[in-house]
Chains A and B, each alone.
Chain A
Amino acid sequence: MSPRELFRSNAFRIALTFSVVVALLTAGTFAIIYNQVANADVGRLRAVMADEAHAAARGDDAALRQALALRLTHDFRRMDYVGLYDAGGALVFGNLPTRPAIPVDGKSHYVASYVGGPDSAGEAEPVLFVAMARADGGIVVLGRNLQELFTLRMAVARALAIAIAPTALAALAAGVFFSRRMLKRLAEINGSIGSIVEGDLRARLPAEESGDDLDRVAGSVNGMLDEIERLLDQIASVGDNIAHDLRSPVASVRARLETTLRAPDLPAKAAASVASAIRQLDRAMLTIDALLRVSSVEARRRRSAFQAMDLSAVCADAYEFFAPAAEAKGVAMSLRAPASTPMRGDFDLLREAVANIVDNAVKFTPPGGAVEIACAQVNGNPELAVSDTGCGVPIEDRERIFGRFYRARSDEPEEGWGIGLSIASMIARLHNFQLRVEDNHPGARFVMSGSVKAPLGLTPHPPGGRKPGFWRRFCRGGSGPVAA
């Protein structure tokens, strides 16, 4: 899984948002604590000090001195400053030799850097002071060192800074973990969809037992696939029924034509037409038969995978069958195949596909030419190539010759590419092969090679390639690309 993929994933974005929210919430909590520590305390102090100052101003001198002395005695932390000055401004009692320069109004005043605290050793300290005039013209000053409070405030701020990063990171890490998991499951689901698109309707989306949203969606999709499979089976059986229903009338017509052909008094011209009609009928039945066989193999494949088989054996069979006829025509036929080319497929159908391609090649190769049947494993995929030195296939026909009803050279009514190639291409598609024709300089080269696998599915099919699965075409009523 690439980082880019991770960033694009929805789950990761949610995780990112989540971690930002968590960070903000943490920061907010700390801000409240900080505010409490920093300001609420100071506010309380201000009020208390103002009260104390007022009380101190009213009392008599002896009681005040005693109270102040008690205050200093109890102050183990040396935070309290006290100064009692006479009318002349001289220190009468306390630990503040010089009176801080604040208005004498009974309100607390903050001095950010007060120098001259008793234990300060000349350091500047933040101090809260309140000064109050006494009836005898003296002034009482109460002070409170805020250094400790500020230290606490700093500690809280530092704690906030230290804590917020790991919290956000933890949230992000959880997000990455869950989005990776999600992405992995999505990749699995995508893979299953890919193989379904490739035509393997048995495949189902993986569902875990957790019953989460994704599982519920996968469950629904699987239900939908069950239904699609059932419908396809139904269509297949309808197709089969139609084909079977066709057989009886065609059998009748064919038998009638054959009987007619045997009549001794049949004019030569009529005999030729009847013979041609029989050929056309056989041709039509051959197509229907091939369709039926392909559809039954396809239906079987939806239940069980293809069998292991050997493409080399298929080629050797075709070579053995066609070589004598090619030789008789003066066409050199050669076979280039490894001892074995294992693949999964339907042996009989592939045999038929290869035979049709080779038959075609022999037919269009003039005496003195050559036809080669070759197969090999290319990048782990089996590949078959039938090359000839015949007239080749014009570029504009290279797609169309695989169409169901295409026939080149309309000036030769009985000649042409025939339905063999369309049957071969149908069989190739069933195996996720692509059958195409190339230039052999001179001649034609028919190549049947493994389709581009789309493991994540949903990738577009290679240009020039056909949609996988013969179903789509079959369901559209069998209209090939050139039927129009």
Chain B
Amino acid sequence: MPQSKYIYVVDDDLALASDVSGELVSRGYAVRTTHLPEEAVEAARNGQAEAIVIDRMLGDIDGLTLVEQMREAGIRAPVLVISGLSTVDDRIEGLRAGGDDYLTKPFELRELGARVDCLTRRLADLNATMLQVGDVSMDLINRTVRRSDRAIDLQPREFKLLEFFLRRPNQIVTRTMLLKQVWNYSLQTQTNVVDVHIGQLRRKIESAGQSRIIVNVRGEGFMLHVAA
């Protein structure tokens, strides 16, 4: 990661900004925290911003207006909007204004990190019809999955689950993220239902003595682990 590029965290809540920055630093990013949005825009204009994490409400300033101005000025740095406004309409508004992703407060720091990871790779992924991580390949058009040369038959929901991991290699994926984004359930389940689904997926993609690729991260969640 070139040191000339930074992730800009723009928030007037300094405590939150510092925690976000801590998470990103732990993921190997160079981070600059500021409560002045112009600073981030200026850096983006000069090509120094790898991505911008911006709070939608900065005191009296609307973060979205800023994103809009940035886009009009032709600045393409990926932007993650974080906001207390949580309805679908709010999210759509955020994405329309030019945000690349929208995260509702409160959030897990890990999820924010994972989304920033996605953003910094997004341009490459966006048009992909094939996902390839290690020896696992997924054809998004024909809905087929292979590990090395072995074709793997997956149920639709298992396919979606694996796709979620393949898009986030070597990142911690929490149970809440999976519940919400793979099954679209917002519940605080008291059972190990997600673990069992992952177990089933594992039996299919890790059979025949193949190495374990989805690993448990104790107390945190799961990770698709492949050698770099």
Contacts and interface: CB of A to CB of B under 8 A. Distances in A.
Note whether A and B form a binding pair.
yes
Interface of A: 243-248, 250-256, 258-259, 262, 275, 281-283, 285-286, 289-290, 292, 296, 320-322, 324-325, 327-329, 348, 351-352, 355-356, 359-360, 362-363, 415, 418-420, 423
B106 A285 contact: yes
Interface stretch (B129-137, B142-150, B182-190): B182-190
A258 B187 contact: no
Q: Which 6 A-B pairs have the closest CB atoms?
A: A247-B84, A255-B19, A251-B105, A251-B106, A325-B193, A247-B105
B15 interface: yes
A322 B193 contact: yes
B105 A359 contact: no
B16 interface: yes
Contact of B184 (A254, A262, A348, A363): A348
Contacts of A420: 187-188, 190
A423 B187 CA distance: 10
6 contacts: A251-B107, A255-B109, A259-B19, A275-B219, A320-B157, A359-B187
Nearest to A329: B191
B108 to A, nearest CB: 7
Contacts of A254: 106-108
Given A247-B105, A258-B109, A325-B196, A363 B191 contact: yes
Given A259-B22, A324-B196, A325-B193, A251 B16 contact: yes
Interface residues of B, number: 41
Contacts of B185: 321, 351-352, 355
Given A256-B15, A328-B196, A418 B188 contact: yes
Contact of B86 (A247, A253, A352): A247
Given A321-B183, A355-B185, 16 more contacts: A247-B105, A248-B16, A248-B57, A248-B84, A251-B84, A255-B16, A255-B19, A258-B109, A324-B193, A327-B196, A328-B196, A351-B184, A352-B185, A352-B186, A355-B187, A359-B190
B199 interface: yes
Contacts of A348: 184
B21 to A, nearest CB: 10
Nearest to A248: B84
A289 B186 contact: yes
A327 B192 CA distance: 11
Contacts of A296: 87
Contacts of B108: 254, 258
A248 B105 CA distance: 6
A259 B187 CA distance: 24
A352 B195 CA distance: 19
Contact of A252 (B15, B83, B197, B200): B15
A247 B193 contact: no
Interface string B173-216: 00010000001111111111101110110000000000000000
Contacts of B189: 359
Contacts of A292: 86-87
Contacts of A325: 191-193, 195-197
Contacts of B23: 255, 258-259
Contact of B192 (A275, A328, A352, A419): A328
Nearest to A416: B190
Contacts of A286: 186-188
B84 A245 contact: yes
A259 B109 contact: yes
A256 B189 CA distance: 24
B6 to A, nearest CB: 20
Nearest to A359: B189
Contacts of A328: 192, 196, 199
Contacts of B87: 292, 296
A99 to B, nearest CB: 116
A363 B82 CA distance: 35
B69 interface: no
Contacts of B219: 275
B187 A252 contact: no
A127 B199 CA distance: 124
Interface in B43-57: 57
B17 to A, nearest CB: 9
B104 interface: yes
Contacts of B105: 247-248, 250-251
Given A248-B84, A328-B199, A359-B193, A256 B19 contact: yes
A168 to B, nearest CB: 66
B106 A281 contact: yes
B151 interface: no
Contacts of A322: 191, 193
B20 interface: yes
Contacts of A327: 196
A327 B191 CA distance: 12
A252 B197 CA distance: 32
A292 B84 CA distance: 12
B188 A282 contact: yes
A420 B185 CA distance: 12
A320 B13 CA distance: 42
A362 B15 CA distance: 40
Nearest to B190: A363
A356 B200 contact: no
